[in-house]
Chains A and B, each alone.
Chain A
Amino acid sequence: MIRTLIRSQWLLLLTGGLYLWAFVAAPQRAGQALAIGATTFTSVLLLIVAVFGLVGLLQVWISRELIVRLLGREGGIKGLLIAALCGTLLIGPSYIIFPLLMSIKKQGARWAVVAIVLTSYAVKLQMIPIEVGFLGWPFSLGRALITLAIAIPAGLLLEVLMEREK
């Protein structure tokens, strides 16, 4: 019970601990920090709510099952591009995503497809408005494009390495 609490909420516990320390060491500055945090949170709250609205829509209309079907079907360069796109739309913790991808692999998908999805997973299309809010357009857009460009060669490299010694 306590272990699962620590595991799932370690960041909250850590932050709470830091605040406790801060309020003892420098109460005024700790209050200031809390105020900054609260202001930032309220300024993006609407955006976060909207993004989760989109997350819900994508989950239902572009379901994981649909993504699995898309990924399993194509093998060539088209398949790799689809993999890059699917990675940007998939969301969920690793304990869902890993077994999902392994099932695709077992259905005959290439290693490159699995690896590409896991790299392009670092771009979250539905989260881009939030990323832009914190980091600006040039940074967010540049990061997304570079990640997608690197996902395919990195995936192919991994596939070569996986299949060399067998």
Chain B
Amino acid sequence: MFSVGLIYLLLIGTIYLLLMLKNRQKAVESLLIARQSLLKLLPLLVAVFGLVGLFQEFLPPELVSRWLGESSGLLALLLGTSAGAVAIGPPLAAYPLAGSLLAAGAWPPAIAAFILSWISIGIITLPFEAQVFGSRFALLRNGISFIAAMLSGLLLGMLL
């Protein structure tokens, strides 16, 4: 992953250089936004990678496969979606956690549903969503997203 990162960084760096020549002010502004968003996320990233280590060392694979494994089927799907719905945080945090669950033997559809509901369903932000859009929209949207997350997970399982 290190070399992929390096290539990607060189690519983005080149784009910055070109834009620097074209519109210096906007390029600098982008760089500042990049730095600010990264710094804001740093504590969370530390937490997530700390958790990844704990998962790998302490989470027994039997436990993961019993609750999130393929043999648990619908229950695994439901658990993955619910866990994602309760959790809040940027998508960036979901990937490493999902990766370590997959490595421990979780069923891919359950993990796909977990990521989807992590990003698109927010139990904790539901009151705020209701305040902005009205409670009817908020409830319907989160309900439909819950079903859509499980459905997408199943579809992905068929695709893989």
> Chain A: residues with CB nearer than 8 A to chain B?
9, 11-12, 14-16, 18-19, 22, 29-30, 32-38, 40-41, 43-57, 59-61, 91, 93-95, 98-99, 101-102, 105, 111, 114-115, 118-119, 121-122, 124, 127, 129-131, 133-135, 138-139, 142-143, 146-147, 150, 154, 157-158, 161-162
Contact = CB atoms under 8 A, between A and B. Distances in A.
Given A19-B50, A52-B38, A115-B144, 8 more contacts: A12-B47, A15-B47, A18-B50, A33-B53, A94-B122, A98-B132, A102-B132, A111-B137
Interface centre among A50, A51, A130 (most CB of B within 10 A): A50
Interface in B115-148: 115-116, 119-120, 122, 125, 128-129, 132-133, 136-137, 140-141, 144-145, 148
Q: Is the interface of A mostly helix, strand, loop or mixed?
A: helix
Given A12-B43, A56-B32, A158-B141, A35 B112 contact: no
A132 B43 CA distance: 23
Interface centre among A33, A61, A111 (most CB of B within 10 A): A33
B8 A47 contact: yes
B133 A102 contact: yes
Nearest to B147: A154
A34 B53 contact: yes
A40 B48 CA distance: 10
A14 B137 CA distance: 32
A50 to B, nearest CB: 4
Contacts, number: 229
Interface of B: 1-2, 4-6, 8-9, 11-13, 15-16, 19, 26, 29-35, 37-38, 43-54, 56-58, 89-93, 95-96, 98-99, 102, 108, 111-112, 115-116, 119-120, 122, 125, 128-129, 132-133, 136-137, 140-141, 144-145, 148, 151-152, 155-156, 159-160
